Chains A and B, each alone.
Chain A
């Protein structure tokens, strides 16, 4: 059983639409992350989140992306206006201080 739960498992959206991907629920974890894996490519870091703010983000994480913990437990990734190239598996992860990252089972995002 994964230590991180993600919803939905699969999301299909039209280009230009907004999507919100969720980690539900998470508690007592220090760090949260989003990674993605485009089909056939490497797992790539998007953003890390600590103490309710972004601690680091990659070049991929542009203005179209945002993260938040709206209610102190759910951790969300929002893509404002999806593009075809945003189609990928998106993995949420968590870690404690100095502990390895543990990933969820991912959300498959398909942009048509």
Chain B
């Protein structure tokens, strides 16, 4: 199932710089997108989301951009901090489909923030 793809398996960035994570999707029915962060031995933690009626959503150091025509979204983390080192998952759902919010996940990008 390649409906949601994160083409970069890993990313290394210097503390204080910007981290940019990318995600592409193929299913045009997706209209709600989320980013999750995951530490080892823990479950995914919700970070930020965006619905298809917007092209940007910001929450503190985290900003998600959505380009519907390109079926592409990205997560910007600025400034990056060592505690941001984790695996980041992009996920998508079809909110029109009413209850359930089944999420389709990408494969994840491992981010390492170097002090």
Contacts and interface: CB of A to CB of B under 8 A. Distances in A.
Interface in A84-101: 91, 93, 95, 97-98, 100-101
Contacts of B108: 42
Contacts of A55: 99-100
A102 interface: yes
A31 B49 CA distance: 18
Size band of the interface chain B makes with A: 20 to 34
Interface of A is mostly: strand
A4 B103 CA distance: 17
Given A55-B99, A98-B95, A42 B46 contact: no
B39 to A, nearest CB: 10
Interface stretch (A11-19, A62-70, A72-80, A103-111): A103-111
A103 B44 contact: yes
B44 A100 contact: no
A102 B46 contact: yes
B99 A100 contact: no
B42 A105 contact: yes
A95 B32 CA distance: 15
B34 A100 contact: yes
B95 A45 contact: no
B105 interface: yes
A48 interface: yes
A11 B3 CA distance: 31
Interface of A: 2, 4, 30-31, 33, 35, 41-45, 48, 50, 55-56, 91, 93, 95, 97-98, 100-106
